[in-house]
C-alpha cells in the first residue's frame, strides 16, 4: 500500500502537476489522520473492555464475600432472637413461679452462650478500593458499597467489639457466679465444662439472677436492631451487584 502511494506521488512530481499533487498530499494526510483516529479508537475500546472486565471480576468477588456476610449475620440474628426470647421466658418464670424443665435448660444455655464478636470480610472491596473505586461505573452501586463497608461494617464492629463488650463480659461473669461451671475429664487429657441448673428454683428470685438478666438485656436488643439494619443494607447492595453483574 505504501509503495502504491509512493508511485503515484513520484508520477505527479515527474509530470510537474502541482495542483493534482497538492490535492493528493491533502488526501494522503487525511488518510493518515483517519488511520491514527481509528487506531486510537480501537485502543480506547480495548482499554474500556479491559477496565470493564476488571470491574466485573472485582464486583463478583465482592458479591461472594457479601453473600458469606449475609449468611453469617442471618445466622447470628436468628441466634440473638432466640436469646431474646429466652430472656423474656426466664423473666416470666421469675414472675409466675413456673419452671418447665423441658425448656429451662435451652433458655439458660442460650443465656450462657450470648456473646458476639464481629469480624467481617472486606478483602475484595479493599483490593478494588486500592485500585480506585472510580472503576465502578455504576454511581449508585459505588456510593452504597462505600457506605456499607466504610460506615455500616465499621460501626457494627465498634459497637459489638467495643461498646457492647463490657456488658457481655459482665453477663459471663454473673452467669458463672449464679451457675458455677463443673469440670470433668475428657478425651486426651482435655477438660469438659458443664453446668448444673438444678438450683434454678433457689436462685431465680435472687438479686444476682436479676442482675444476670439485666446485663444480657443491655446488649441483646441493641445487637438485634443493628444486625437487622446491617442486613437490610447488605441486601440492597447485593441486589445492585446482581443487577450489575447480569448486564
pLDDT in tens, the chain (247 residues): 545 545 555 554 555 555 554 555 565 666 666 766 665 666 566 566 687 888 899 999 999 999 999 999 999 999 999 999 999 999 988 888 877 777 899 999 999 988 888 888 899 999 989 888 988 999 999 999 999 999 999 999 999 988 998 999 999 999 999 998 887 776 776 778 888 888 898 899 999 999 999 999 999 999 999 999 999 999 999 999 999 998 7
pTM check: above 0.85? no
- Residue 226 Cα distances to 85, 153, 154, angstroms: 17, 10, 12
Q: How many residues does the chain have?
A: 247
Phi-psi sector, 225: left (phi>0), alpha (psi -120 to 50), beta: alpha
CA distance 61 to 134: 17
Do the beta carbons of residue 157 and residue 118 sit within 8 Å? yes
Do the beta carbons of residue 108 and residue 121 sit within 8 Å? no
Amino acid at each position: 500500500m505504501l509503495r502504491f502511494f509512493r508511485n503515484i506521488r513520484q508520477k505527479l512530481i515527474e509530470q510537474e502537476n502541482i495542483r493534482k499533487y497538492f490535492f493528493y498530499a491533502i488526501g494522503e494526510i487525511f488518510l493518515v489522520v483517519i488511520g491514527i483516529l481509528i487506531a486510537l479508537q480501537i485502543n480506547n475500546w480495548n482499554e474500556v473492555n479491559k477496565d470493564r472486565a476488571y470491574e466485573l471480576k472485582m464486583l463478583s468477588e465482592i458479591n461472594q464475600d457479601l453473600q458469606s456476610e449475609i449468611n453469617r449475620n442471618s445466622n447470628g440474628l436468628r441466634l440473638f432472637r432466640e436469646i431474646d426470647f429466652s430472656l423474656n421466658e426466664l423473666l416470666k418464670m421469675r414472675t409466675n413461679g413456673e419452671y418447665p424443665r423441658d425448656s429451662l435448660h435451652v433458655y439458660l444455655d442460650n443465656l450462657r452462650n450470648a456473646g458476639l464478636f464481629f469480624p467481617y470480610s472486606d478483602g475484595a472491596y479493599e483490593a478494588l478500593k486500592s485500585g480506585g473505586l472510580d472503576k465502578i461505573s455504576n454511581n449508585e452501586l459505588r456510593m452504597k458499597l462505600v457506605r456499607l463497608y466504610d460506615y455500616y461494617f465499621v460501626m457494627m464492629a465498634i459497637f459489638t467489639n467495643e461498646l457492647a463488650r463490657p456488658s457481655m463480659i459482665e453477663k459471663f461473669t454473673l452467669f458463672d457466679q449464679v451457675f458455677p461451671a463443673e469440670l470433668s475429664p475428657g478425651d486426651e487429657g482435655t477438660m469438659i465444662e458443664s453446668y448444673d441448673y438444678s438450683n434454678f428454683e433457689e436462685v431465680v428470685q435472687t438479686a444476682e439472677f436479676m442482675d444476670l438478666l439485666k446485663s444480657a438485656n443491655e446488649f441483646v436488643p441493641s445487637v438485634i436492631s443493628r444486625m437487622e439494619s446491617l442486613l437490610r443494607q447488605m441486601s440492597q447492595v447485593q441486589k445492585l451487584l446482581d443487577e450489575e453483574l447480569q448486564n
